[in-house]
Amino acid sequence: MTSSKKDTCCDLAVAAKDPEAYHVEAIVSVDERGQMVLPKNIRAKFGVKPGDKLAVVTMERQGKVCCLHIFKAEELSGEARNLVRSSGPDRSPPNKAGGRD
């Protein structure tokens, strides 16, 4: 495939063409505060270090979120990066109390 744009694994359109590229790497639990731990072996494989920004991208079917994808924020492809920038929860203006709605 020749393209002027570099294909990356974080390009959702490219990844969708290769379903065998998806693997269940771990099962994680969500605690009472909504937090989960990304296992050490996954962090190592993914190259995640403390302070790294990760983008959580959702996919919906029939109005319900069916999939979560996690990407390193700096490695998102242009299309996905624009989607995250325009719809991310921290993009809304602060409310009168200084928080986000």
Segment 39-70, tens digit of pLDDT: 999 999 999 999 999 988 888 888 898 888 88
Domains of the chain (ranges; CATH) run 12-90 (2.10.260.10)
- CA pseudo-torsion sign 62, 33, 70, 22: negative
> What is the DSSP pairing of strand 54-61 with strand 64-72?
antiparallel
User: pTM score, two decimals?
Assistant: 0.56
pLDDT at residue 35, rounded to an integer: 94
Tens of pLDDT, residues 4-18: 344 555 566 666 677
